[in-house]
Amino acid sequence: MKNYLLFATLIILVSCGLDKGSKVKADKVKPVVVTVNYPLYYFAGRIGGELIQLEYPIPADVDPAYWIPDDDDLEIYQSADIILANGANYAKWMNNVSLPSSRVVNTTSSVKEKYIALEDVATHSHGAEGEHEHTGYAFTTWLDFEIAAVQAQAVKDELVKKFPDNKEELEANYELLKKDILNLHKLMQDVALLLEYQPVIGSHPVYQYLAKAYSLNIQSVHFEPDEMPSDDQWKEFDGIMEHHPARIMFWEDEPMPGVKEILNKKEIKTVVFNPCSNKIYDLDFLEAMKKNINNLSKLE
Amino acid sequence: MNQSFYLAIKYLQYYKIRTLVLVGAIGLILYLPLGLQRLIVESEDQMMARADNTPLIIGAKGNSTDLVINTLYFEQTKIDGLQFKNIEAIDEIGFGFSIPIISVFKARGFPIIGTNLDYFHFRDLKIGKGINLRYVGECVIGKKVAERLNLSPGDSLVSSPENFLDLAGVYPLQMKVVGILESTDTPDDHAIFTDLKTNWIIMGLGHGHQDLKNVNDPSLVLERDSAKVIANSKLFIYNKVDGKEMESFHFHGDINNYPITSILFIPENHKASTLLRGRFETGEFKEQIVVPSLIVENLLQKIFQVKQIFNTAFILVGIATLFILGLIIILTLRLRKDELYTMFSIGSSKNKTFEIIGFELFITALMSVVVMLVLYSFTGLFVDYFIHQFII
Amino acid sequence: MIEISNIHFQYPKSDFKLQMDRLKIDRGSKTAIIGPSGFGKTTLLNLLAGILVPDEGQIQLDGVMVNNLSENERRNFRIRKIGFVFQDFRLIPYLNVLDNILLPYRINNKLKINRETTASVKNLANEFDIGDKLKKYPAKLSHGERQRVAICRALINTPPIIMADEPTGNLDPENKRKIMNILFEYVRKFGSTLITVTHDHEMLKGFINTIDFGHFQNN
């Protein structure tokens, strides 16, 4: 009974830690580490543990890639000792603010060659420049679990610099995390064999790294799980289906019944594969990914 | 009061203009060598302090003196620049970290320095009024800039379209002043600090426009599908970045290729500094790395050789002045012959006469020294001007 | 009493010579020295005052052989015993009337200025009708006012001997009479000996002794 209460208390406290309401300025006794998305928050927590004060000002109901900090949030980042960035231009807001660059760690800087350039970009032109596009990269890098392990290593390396005396502990924590991540990698490799080269439709263009790492044939539309796509969007969907006859559609979250019905009529199965950019309910990163992989395994 | 002193005072008081001219002239002659000495010494100290506080500077190969002057003192000399990607290449080695500097533009005569928040931590710059930089388009200004331009947080400042690199496509940017630094008696007092990205916007490498996907004015859009939207030239490019507009601001191309002027490199320790310099010397990097204190010391040595010439000139002027003063005294005594003879006739001794004249000279000398001291005390105010006019 | 015997004086690098066998002036008397310019009247006055020293002969003032004194002694003697009125006033231009009158006190350490001294100045100035001019400077005074300041300066320390070189020169007749009357009154009041150099024969009235330099030199 005691253990249960303690566990419940811990859960509540951890949840509170992710609550946007706790935008209190960092306690400067421990070095403050702040991240731009949930996966990095998870990695930092697993590796740094009690050595660091982890901050996460991003509210639970937004996509961190499109989140824009307000003045208070920005101050948390500006005053942090370590800012863990994803790389691949993930947090676009970082382009528009001033930060102490020496404290920003791009966790994918060592694997830049693996960045996936976006083909499906919003091209536009104005003025004398002529037509151009915003060159960008896909940014859900952690869905390639080998890259996720590299990101975890980058977090560990930065923390070891900060706490050279605790190197052993940090290394040990990292090894455990790495093991867990690479286990995900193995599981994903196995389940991906079931989908080998089968055309898959993604509800959003967030599965690029997953597709590349595990040889999945995914093309994406821009459907929201809680919205009925417009006629034009269905038209676009059908257009893709003509040359990409998918029978499976990945969703970031369970689609609304009406959409599911239409997809069923088109004989397309829906599978929830949540990229976990932000925290999912009461599942941590590992649990969320395992659940995703489990969902895929049910497609058999 | 001593009667001789009284008579001396009366003499000087009565011939006010003559006295003031003499006091002013002697005071000035006494001041000149001392004042110049102070200017030189304080300039030297200030410049060396700035250089000593900066471990390493990295820049494109070329004139190292210009590189240091540009980076340390914000004199926008013509030097080749670097690219932003140089920073990562150098920081990857792990010997310390880089602080990028862009120094190309001005606003109302003051240099705009693009950098990041690390610069403020490194130079220990404190915000006196307002807040530090948050968003692109904001600026933080030095104390002297605020005083001269009468600016406060919340005011605007527009960049000048001219730039010494003759860059085309420069967009004057209206920046928002968000903070004023506390005074540091360094070139930072005379600078306008922005984020690197703000400088790139002025260069035209970044801009904002209306979100094309949500544009409702059909006359702006030529073609649209789910993948792309093509607009016509009617679309307006903002020349200010402010809060809300930020969401649709962006940069074109690869930011790693964007230009910077130079890099302040902060090594972890002395060994790291030496090792890094070694790597540059072996040709691993195409750029140059300099130790600012060595460059500045060399610069000052050359310039202050001129000091010797000044000192010789002052000595000669001083001797000439002494001769002239002696002549003036002799001529004055001749003119006062009757007056002095009168006093003698009435009952004054020769010693008394010498005493009166002696007091006159003493008071004149004392007042000259006061003038000299007053001028000397104000000399410190001109150190900045001296550095900018005669040294860099 | 003032006594001269067999004095010879010649200015260096000059042909001018002054010779006098004998001269006696009684205490409290009024003596005028008259004669044309250049005959040595002022020279005689300077010799009597000890400003110049004769090459030969003796000058005795109040029992003191002035010519035997050192320069300092002559100076001290002069400041205590003689009030000198110069031919061209010789006011100090940068001192106001008050300070000009007090000049003897300012140039000699043996004389001290106190409240009584200042009061004496004011009284003396009032007697000579320049009491309201004490703060003015010589440049702002008329010719006659300057003359009176010079006389006040000579009288301020109540000297027993007053030597005045042309004290009424260039004054109008009325002012001449005024000045001389004040001087005579002073001499009468304090029993001082007055020796005046003048070329104005009109002013000889009131003087007991007259030394005619024109006649004297000729003789």
Per-residue pLDDT band at B211 (split at 50, 70, 90): very low
For residues B147 and B182, what is the distance between their CA atoms, to the nearest angstrom? 12
pTM of the model as a whole:
0.71
* CA-based nearest residue in chain B for residue A161: B94
Rounded to the nearest angstrom, the minimum Cα separation between A278 and chain B is 21
pLDDT at res. B238: 47
Chains A and C touch (3+ CB pairs under 8 A): no
Per-residue pLDDT band at A129 (split at 50, 70, 90): very low
**Quick check: B10 and C99 CB within 8 A?**
yes
For residues A293 and A295, what is the distance between their CA atoms, to the nearest angstrom? 5
Give the domains, in start order, of chain A with CATH numbers.
2-122+141-183 (3.40.50.1980), 187-297 (3.40.50.1980)
**Quick check: B14 and C94 CB within 8 A?**
yes
Give the domains, in start order, of chain C with CATH numbers.
2-218 (3.40.50.300)
A183-241 pLDDT, tens digit per residue, is: 999 999 999 998 877 899 999 999 999 999 999 999 999 999 988 999 999 999 999 99
Size of interface A-B (CB pairs under 8 A): 94
Rounded to the nearest angstrom, the minimum Cα separation between B76 and chain A is 23
Whether chain C has a CB inside 8 Å of the CB on B288: the answer is no
User: What mean pLDDT is predicted for residues B53-57?
Assistant: 95
* pLDDT at residue A110 is higher than 70: yes
For residues A182 and A69, what is the distance between their CA atoms, to the nearest angstrom? 33
Q: What are phi and psi of A238, to 5 degrees?
A: -65, -35
User: What mean pLDDT is predicted for residues C53-72?
Assistant: 87
**Quick check: A124 and B232 CB within 8 A?**
no
Question: Which residues in chain B have their CB less than 8 angstroms from residue C84's CB?
Answer: 345-346
For residues A91 and A112, what is the distance between their CA atoms, to the nearest angstrom? 16
Whether chain C has a CB inside 8 Å of the CB on B311: the answer is no
Residue C22 has a CB neighbour count (10 Å cut-off) of 10
B128-142 pLDDT, tens digit per residue, is: 999 999 998 899 999
Mean pLDDT of chain B: 86
Per-residue pLDDT band at B229 (split at 50, 70, 90): low
pLDDT at res. C139: 94
Q: If you average pLDDT over each of A4-18, A39-53, B27-41, C22-36, which comes out highest?
A: A39-53
* CA-based nearest residue in chain B for residue A93: B247
Percentage of residues in chain B having pLDDT higher than 70: 87
pLDDT at res. B295: 94
* CA-wise closest residue to C51 among C30, C21, C81, C26: C81
Structure tokens at B129: 């009024």
pLDDT at res. C128: 86
Mean pLDDT of chain C: 85
- Residue A34 near residue A57 (C-beta atoms within 8 A): yes
Per-residue pLDDT band at B170 (split at 50, 70, 90): low
pLDDT at res. B168: 58
CA separation, residue B316 to residues B21, B40, B375, C6, C118 (Å): 21, 20, 21, 59, 51
Listed in sequence order, the residues at least 6 apart from B259 whose beta carbon sits closer than 8 Å to its beta carbon are: B81, B82, B83, B84, B102, B203
For residues C214 and C102, what is the distance between their CA atoms, to the nearest angstrom? 36
pLDDT at res. C49: 87
Higher pLDDT: B173 or C93? It is C93
* pLDDT at residue A125 is higher than 50: no
Rounded to the nearest angstrom, the minimum Cα separation between C95 and chain B is 7
Structure tokens at C124: 């003396």
**Quick check: B195 and A109 CB within 8 A?**
no
pLDDT at res. B314: 83
* CA-based nearest residue in chain A for residue B266: A102
Q: If you average pLDDT over each of B72-76, B171-175, B343-347, C71-75, which comes out highest?
A: B72-76
pLDDT at res. B311: 80
Residue C140 has a CB neighbour count (10 Å cut-off) of 12
Interface test with C, best of B3, B343, B346, B349 (most C CBs within 10 A): B346
User: What mean pLDDT is predicted for residues C152-171?
Assistant: 87
Interface test with B, best of A67, A101, A219, A222 (most B CBs within 10 A): A101
CA separation, residue B85 to residues A92, A128, B257, B259 (Å): 19, 27, 6, 9
Question: Which residues in chain B have their CB less than 8 angstroms from residue A91's CB?
Answer: none
Q: Give the dihedral sign, CA B246/B249/B250/B251.
A: negative
Q: Using N-to-C axis directions, what is the helix angle for B337-346 and C71-81, rounded to 10°? A: 80
Relative to beta strand B174-181, strand B138-141 is: parallel
User: What mean pLDDT is predicted for residues C178-191?
Assistant: 85
B277-311 pLDDT, tens digit per residue, is: 999 999 888 999 999 999 999 988 877 777 778 78
ipTM of the predicted structure? 0.84
Burial class (CB in 10 A: 0-12, 13-18, 19+), A100: buried
Mean pLDDT of chain A: 87
pLDDT at res. C214: 65
Number of H helices, E strands in chain B: 12, 16
User: What mean pLDDT is predicted for residues C47-72?
Assistant: 88
Listed in sequence order, the residues at least 6 apart from A151 whose beta carbon sits closer than 8 Å to its beta carbon are: A39, A40, A43, A86, A107, A108, A141, A142
* pLDDT at residue B275 is higher than 50: yes
Structure tokens at B8: 């001396």
* pLDDT at residue A23 is higher than 60: no
Nearest to B228 among A78, A124, A236 (CB): A124
Tell me which DSSP letter residue B92 carries.
Answer: T
For residues B381 and B369, what is the distance between their CA atoms, to the nearest angstrom? 20
pLDDT at res. B288: 95
Element spanning A32, H or E:
strand A32-35
Question: Which residues in chain B have their CB less than 8 angstroms from residue A104's CB?
Answer: none
Percentage of residues in chain B having pLDDT higher than 90: 51
Delimit the domains of chain B by residue range. Answer: 3-47+300-391, 56-205+252-290
* pLDDT at residue A16 is higher than 80: no
Per-residue pLDDT band at A66 (split at 50, 70, 90): confident
Residue B172 has a CB neighbour count (10 Å cut-off) of 15
**Quick check: A124 and B253 CB within 8 A?**
no
Size of interface B-C (CB pairs under 8 A): 59
| Choice among A237-246, A270-279, C42-51 with the minimum mean pLDDT | C42-51
Structure tokens at A197: 């080269």
Structure tokens at C19: 């010779």
pLDDT at res. A126: 39
Q: What is the Cα gyration radius of chain B?
A: 31
Tell me which DSSP letter residue A116 carries.
Answer: P
Question: Which residues in chain B have their CB less than 8 angstroms from residue C107's CB?
Answer: 3, 7, 343, 346-348, 352
* CA-based nearest residue in chain B for residue A122: B228
A253-271 pLDDT, tens digit per residue, is: 999 999 999 999 999 999 9
Structure tokens at B384: 């900045």
Q: What are phi and psi of B390, to 5 degrees?
A: -115, -15
For residues C172 and B25, what is the distance between their CA atoms, to the nearest angstrom? 47
C71-122 pLDDT, tens digit per residue, is: 888 888 888 889 988 878 889 999 999 999 999 999 887 778 888 888 989 9
User: What mean pLDDT is predicted for residues B196-212?
Assistant: 75
